[in-house]
Amino acid sequence: MVKEKIKTLTAGKLNNGFTLIELIVVISLISTVLFFSIPRLQNVLGFDNTKKVSRWILTTVRFLKKSAVADQKRHILHVHLDANRLWITNETMSGPEIQHAEEKGYRLPDDVRISDVEYSNKGKISFGTADISFYKNAYSDHVWLHIVNDHNRSLSFLIEPFQSKASLFENYVGFEG
């Protein structure tokens, strides 16, 4: 009688494994979810080049405003619109130092470009080089810096004379608008 009970227990044992079809279905569902969510996660987590450029500009403006006062030198953020490059100099740098700073400057990613620099008193510059000055008396030029990416997403940075940092706007904004 004990042997019969053992046989019925082992014969009625359930299989706890998964079939091949169940595994394929689960893996395909996970793959589909990841396929649609990874591009959104990249934008949320900061893999977007526009956000990377924005962080660089905001950090650099804050640094230049502080450095101009601390060093008691005028610092200049050079914006080369045609070459899509930014670099920093100060008023005491020699010719070779300025050239070295330009060569080592920040090059924007290929999918982000500088559209223009708009001054409150000089108007808008859309090509060539624009210089934004940060003075030792704790003020700077009053400027809008505009960038755009390949998806036509525009960002505007307002650099105000007496503010310690730049302001970021999620669309194209200028002095006239």
CA dihedral 65, 69, 74, 77 (to 10 degrees): -20
Q: 139 in a domain, yes or no?
A: yes
Residues near 57 by beta carbon (within 8 Å), at least 6 away in sequence: 86, 145, 147, 157, 166
Residue 144, in any domain of the structure: yes
Same domain, 78 and 37: no
- Residue 1 domain-assigned (yes or no): no
Domains: count for the chain = 2
Q: How do the pLDDT tens digits run along the chain, 177 residues long?
A: 555 555 555 555 556 778 889 889 999 999 888 887 776 665 555 457 888 899 999 999 999 999 999 999 999 999 999 999 999 999 999 999 999 999 999 999 998 999 999 999 888 999 999 999 999 998 999 999 999 988 888 999 999 999 989 999 998 998 885
Same structural domain, 70 and 19 = no
Do the Cβ atoms of 149 and 159 come closer than 8 Å? Answer: no
Residue 91 main-chain phi, psi, to 5 deg? -70, -15
Residue span of the structural domain in which 37 resides:
14-46
Instruction: Let me know if residue 125 belongs to a domain.
Output: yes
pTM greater than 0.75 (yes/no)? no
Q: Are residues 61 and 27 in the same domain?
A: no
127 and 70 assigned to the same domain: yes
